[in-house]
Structure 1
């Protein structure tokens, strides 16, 4: 307890004297804050003039981390928790205690698709960041600008669409241990990547890229696929995963007009090996050992066509059309361990999502120094598919359309050079639910040179996802079903911040300090509730019954001096979840968690060497879990996370080598403690968070032809 107050006092003090994960200061030498255009708003504008707090993660940070997918990057972001699953191979996001259903991920302003949703519930390990310009994050309710389910925030990945030279070719390999496990072909992680970009002339640009990520799994105390003794030691703690991703882009840009087309393909395969080993006999091969194993296949196709330009009267337009599909297939088979062969293979589609999507925006509708209105439409045609259980051991397929047509309007109202406010309103025509609306008000006040205040208030909504509407699982006397009568959740959000940026021109030094206060409230929150009994069988069904509140304080501070950059921040959160399943419910008391974050980088010009350190601390995390006859309070242990890297360039920056380590505090499984009902004592279970310290080496060859 004493340490907690020391940390809290220190961070409160640091907020007054010294913007974590905000790379705008890194552009101080080459471009000003007002020139750094962001795309996370419906109408693109500079960070300095945005009424929202926009955090930017640069490509330099991604290089220093040796990151391969989005989860590697966000693991170091202060307000975000990355929740990996060793059993499914997926990694998902949570923010402010809200899961991935409340956070929206976009690529070039288009929501990303998964087999579970559109923009939400995205598997971070399936998002390739090999060829991006930067990542933009906006926290808090963005339902007005980005529609349903952008309750806790949005993340927008901006891909590269142009180069300075005629050719830009890069090829790389990355070798990484998985904990202590590594062999060149059979253990560890093995990555190959290729990017080819060509500037045909001043107007045309084309680019292609590909990445292969071979994750061989983590055994720990297990003995892998070929173990043939039935002692529970067969298999992997972290499932093997093989991933191939490719994308291509063509871009045309002339005068005030730009059009680009982007194509992406993902093939992802996860392997599951059953711990049980059985014996079999075949007349042709005799006795053999086998396991009943599975493979999970994910395939994604995505296309995006975008046009940006201006009419003769000065009005600007931005219109996109996108088609995305992602499906998950399961293959079951008998794996003959003795003879390394397979029989009884059965492959079927388990889940899928097919989406047609279009969004169009008009800005600069008329010439005015005070008003800058924006109008927008957003159309989504979303077809979901899932295999669900039936009574007994049967299954059936469910295929449904979830469509909406939204209209959005807002305007920057510039009262004077210091004060701007931005009202916004969205109306959504829904195919399955009552029509929805969202509204917001953002305020920007430039108090003095370098000192500015931002406040935003928003009302938003989250529509039930496909699983909540149509799922059905029946097993061992339990019955879990979706509910087609669910209604959208309603949420309110308030955020206010104060930021001070100081430039010391004589010493090439910059200092940025920010403190932010936030509040989120959700009503009619969807919960799986015990609604009835049929005989002795409990029936669980999703219903709108629970409530959620979160208060948070975030301090972020950045110091930059020449080639040295340092960030320090802290996030403090009070969370109340009134969870009710009709039979029993939690209290509405607030549970406290906090996290600390720091990173530093230093670039030595003469040897072309970059040192980077990334640290994050997550406090003990209390949460309510379902017990046998009541909700009980559980607590997940605190942990520290530390990544370091050294990056060196050779031969006039043509060859780049990065060596580093992840998870130097060797985080593995964490204890989850809860009070045992009736007994009055605590019991512990284990939650796999990571697989210990890993080391990586990345080599990249860059060829630029003028």
Structure 2
């Protein structure tokens, strides 16, 4: 459950101030600061990078720990916003933020932690709430673009994001202690405990010897919500001893508190490596009822206002194990094992506004539960002596069991528990046709307990025109399996009839991704990297929400394979590094063509949108300081929706987002980062493409995107010793 936030914050601040003033100032080595937006490449060659995703087949970018620190990133949503082909979509009511790539939403993007898919509310690896991914123990974030279903399973259509945990300590130190405190305004709102965002982190690492290291840590992120024009939990409008419901109670964005604790063990046995990660995550989201009930107190005759509020609490346990090493010579093995358990609890209670306390609980139940058993293994470089031919073979097994018994605002006691299993076998062949040209055909055979046997395939190719001028192409199937919710969701009572469809079939189609890049030397030490990308997705049998009559002629809200979508896009990305300057500039032009409910009047034309991204950074070595700014223009987007009189075009207007930050080392042990987010003060954007129900256009006039202009300050204390 939620910790006492006042005690937690006061104790943590006291410890941080004490240890930071206990050390004398000293100089610190200056490190080159890279731009968050200009993703760097990682080459997978050594055993130390067995968790990495292969650069050989795909376009791979990396955000390292310095990139994360520069923007004071606490969770994944803090650092991904400025990638040109990634869009973060927040939901003010639930507090969730999901990621889309190349116009495909979170269902088509796979998120891994150390190569293992992360569990979510109703699936594994997809549609993840990225605000729940804490970055305090992260070494780097790998972003891989293109269809990767053969290597990483169903739903890896647009790409994969892999969160890599830090292992061991740098240098010759045996111990490392890290403490940090971060304070942020939420728009103009801030107070020490009740408004704003308050983050504390603690981590201890010990390198016992060159073979064994471990670390333990905890992080707390307390987001007090965004009030905007609302008046908070204890607001009530009483006139003439009568409650007037003016709709101003509560907050615009719901408050939430997140606690993450973790422990890692890294063991090297000769050339073999064993890595174990244990994590516990707790999140509490509070939802305030806008409607106030004005009951009269029979003893006093005065109004006694109450509201029906809700709490959603998510608990997650993660046990991940990775074992890797050589089999013989350059032939290597890699095995992953995971057990993950997530439970969501739902409380509905009567809150007494004048007494500022809970009167009684209406509902206090477990509303969602899922348990994941996962294993993956593969052997790479199986023909190391051949210059022409090589092979990788592997398997993947997933077993998910659980239920989801909650819809919008009420709890259902009619719980239906289900199990979904996957047995997969995959292989990728490497043909080096010439010194410059290679092709990589691959296939995955998947057996699913719900929809049977399916085949995922791909054909990748790389061509090196010169040492710096390279072409990569990926052609494969756009395979997305229905998630647990779409198959098994069940919420039926007197007022609701919402059910999953166990007869759903996977979406499939064609995906194409082409990446052409070159590097140019512009000065003795400076260079320009430029990349042109093109992508195309033709997705058939898209899963959509539909309304059909059930056996009792009631309206049944369910899912069906009825939609189609085509996406075509082009990107141009540039990054320039000259002396202490880092500059990034990129643009993307994307169109989507859609058919809804197998409609004969589908939209055959593409609806186009334009995005622009830029970044600027400057390092001052003498002052051990870096200054950076990031800007992203999101152009007008349009989608086809089904309205009351047929298909209509929904639209979200364009907007521009900008952040800036300043990072410096105050002493050898103490670092400060300060800055501003959302400088142009974006809160809502005019929108008519927000669905209100099943396949209907919305009357909503705007979409919430931000909390307004916010400011942050982070202090990090880092002590290394033997």
* In structure 2, distance between residues paired with 1:40 and 1:249: 15
Match of 1:413 in 2: 431
Q: Which residue among 333, 342, 349 is the counterpart of 1:333? A: 349
Q: Distance in 2 between matches of 1:93 and 1:65?
A: 19
Match of 1:132 in 2: 138
Task: Name the residue aligned to 2:580.
Answer: 563
Q: Distance in 1 between matches of 2:310 and 2:387?
A: 62
Check the 8 A contact 2:87/2:99 in 1, yes or no: yes
Query: 1-side partners of 2:87 and 2:468: how far apart?
Result: 31
Pick closer, same or farther for the CA change 1:203–1:477 going to 2, 3 Å: closer
Shift of 1:130: 1.3
Distance (whole Å) between structure 1 residues aligned to residue 411 and residue 367 of structure 2: 16
- Distance, in Å, in 1 between the alignment partners of 2:82 and 2:573 is 14
Q: Which residue of 1 aligns with 2:483?
A: 465
Change (3 A) 1:38 1:619: farther
Q: Aligned to 2:81, which of 75, 78, 83?
A: 75
Q: Is it true that 1:180 corresponds to 2:196 in the alignment? A: no
When residues 533 and 485 of structure 1 are mapped into structure 2, their CA distance, relative to the original with a 3 A threshold, is closer
Structure 1 counterpart of 2:258, from 243, 249, 254: 243
For the 8 Å contact 1:280–1:290, the answer to whether it is kept is: yes
Q: Aligned residue for 2:26?
A: none
- 1:599 to partner: Cα distance: 1.2
1:552 and 2:551 are equivalent in the alignment = no
Deviations 1:568-627 (A, max 9, x none): 111111111111167x86423211012111112211111001101111010011112332
8 A contact 1:441–1:458 mirrored in 2: yes
Structure with greater proportional strand content: 1
Question: Could you tell me how far 1:513 is from its partner in structure 2?
Answer: 0.6
Which digits, 9 at most, give the CA deviation of each residue in 1:361-412, with x for residues without a partner?
Answer: 111223322222111110101113111679x996511211110110111122
Mean Cα deviation higher: 335-344 or 445-454? 335-344
Q: Which residue of 2 aligns with 1:369?
A: 387
Alignment CA distance shift 1:468-1:428 (3 Å)? same
Segment of structure 1 superposing worse, 276-285 or 602-611: 276-285
User: Any idea what SS the aligned residue of 2:136 has?
Assistant: coil
Matches for 1:504-515 after TM superposition, within 5 Å: 507-515=524-532
Paired position in structure 2 for 1:205 = 213
1:124/1:486 CA distance change after superposition, 3 Å:
same
* Residue 648, structure 1, aligned to residue 655, structure 2: no
Task: Please give the TM-score of this superposition, normalised by the length of structure 2.
Answer: 0.88
Tell me the SS of whatever aligns to 2:528. strand
1:271 aligns with 2:286: yes
Q: Is the 8 A contact 2:531 2:572 kept in 1?
A: yes
Check the 8 A contact 2:675/2:712 in 1, yes or no.
yes
2:473 equivalent to 1:455 = yes
CA distance in 1, matches of 2:344, 2:271: 41
Residue 704 of structure 2 is matched in structure 1 by 688
CA shift at 1:419, angstroms? Answer: 1.5
Report the CA distance between 1:75 and its aligned residue.
1.3
Question: Structure 1, residues 280-333: CA drift from partner, whole Å, max 9, x if none?
Answer: 356789852211100000000000111111124553111111000111111000
Please give the alpha-carbon distance, in whole angstroms, between the structure 1 residues aligned to 2:573 and 2:215: 37
Comparing 376-385 with 682-691, greater Cα deviation is found at 682-691
Query: Does the 8 A contact of 1:21 with 1:55 survive in 2?
Result: no
Per the alignment, residue 10 of structure 1 pairs with none
Q: 1:147 aligns with which of 149, 153, 168?
A: 153
**Cα offset, 1:341, TM superposition:** 2.1
Deviation of 1:495 after TM superposition, in Å, equals: 1.1
Distance in 2, matches of 1:301 and 1:593, equals: 40
How far is 1:481 from its partner? 3.2
Q: Deviations over 1:141-165 (max 9, x none)?
A: 1110101111111100111011122
Contact preservation (8 Å) 2:147, 2:513: no
Counterpart for residue 360 of structure 2? 344
Per-residue CA deviations over 1:88-117 (Å, capped at 9, x if unaligned) read 111111223322111110000000011221
Runs of 5+ in structure 1 lacking a partner?
1-18, 676-681
Give, in whole Å, the separation in 2 of the partners of 1:549 and 1:216: 40
Confirm or deny: 8 A CA contact 2:567 2:593 kept in the other structure.
Answer: yes
Give the match for residue 5 of structure 2. Answer: none
C-alpha distance in 1, partners of 2:129/2:721? 36
Query: For residues 590 and 449 of structure 1, do their structure 2 counterparts lie closer, same or farther at Cα, with a shift above 3 Å needed?
Result: same
- The 3 A distance-change label for structure 1 pair 135 and 528 is same
Alignment of 1:658-697 (within 5 A): 658-673=673-688, 685-697=701-713
Matched, 1:117 2:133: no
Q: 1:259: Cα distance to partner? A: 0.4
Give the counterpart of 2:225 among 193, 217, 226.
217
Q: Which secondary structure state, in structure 2, belongs to the residue aligned with residue 276 of structure 1?
A: coil
Q: Distance in 1 between matches of 2:407 and 2:587?
A: 45
What is the aligned counterpart of 2:630 among 604, 609, 614? Answer: 614
Q: 2:48 & 2:632 partners in 1: Cα distance?
A: 29
Residues 412 and 492 in structure 2, CA contact (< 8 A), matched pair in contact too: no
In 2: Cα distance, 1:601 partner to 1:393 partner: 50
Deviates more, 1:303-312 or 1:606-615: 303-312
**1:439-454 equivalence runs, <5 A:** 439-454=457-472
Which residue pairs with 2:21 in the alignment? none
Residue 189 in structure 1 maps to residue 204 in structure 2: no
| Aligned residues of 1:477 and 1:538 also touching (Cα < 8 A) | no
The answer to whether 1:167 aligns with 2:162 is: no
Q: Is the 8 A contact 1:497 1:517 kept in 2?
A: yes
Q: Structure 1 residues 320, 536: closer, same or farther in 2, change over 3 A? A: closer
After superposition, the C-alpha distances for 1:609-649 in whole angstroms (9 at most, x for unaligned) are 11011110100111123322323111101000000000010
Q: Give SS of 1:60's match.
A: helix
**Distance of 2:458 and 2:488 partners within structure 1:** 32
Report the CA distance between 1:702 and its aligned residue. Answer: 0.8
1:105-148, Cα deviation, whole Å (9 max, x unpaired): 00000000112210011111100011211111112211101011
Return the alpha-carbon distance in structure 2 between the equivalents of residues 690 and 457 of structure 1.
37
Partner of 1:424: 442
Aligned to 2:24: none
How has the CA–CA distance of structure 1 residues 481 and 239 changed in structure 2, closer, same or farther, with 3 Å as cutoff? same
| Cα pair distance change 1:278/1:415, threshold 3 Å | same
Q: Which residue matches 1:98?
A: 104
Aligned match of 2:545: 528
Equivalent in the alignment of 1:702 = 718
> How far does residue 497 in structure 1 lie from its aligned partner after superposition?
1.7
TM superposition shift of 1:703:
0.7
Distance of 1:671 and 1:357 partners within structure 2: 43
Confirm whether residue 293 of structure 1 aligns to residue 301 of structure 2: no
Q: Cα RMSD over matched residues?
A: 2.7
- 2:510 maps to 492
Matched, 1:304 2:320: yes
The separation in 1 between residues aligned to 2:492 and 2:681, in whole angstroms, is 39
The answer on whether the counterparts of 1:333 and 1:342 sit within 8 Å (CA) in structure 2 is yes
Q: Which residue is equivalent to 1:324?
A: 340
CA–CA distance in structure 2, aligned partners of residues 37 and 614 of structure 1: 32
Deviation, structure 1 residue 215: 0.5
Residue 541 of structure 1: aligned partner: 558
2:485 counterpart SS class:
helix
Matched pairs, number: 670
Output the CA distance in 1 between the equivalents of 2:314 and 2:447. Answer: 31
Q: What is aligned with 2:32?
A: none
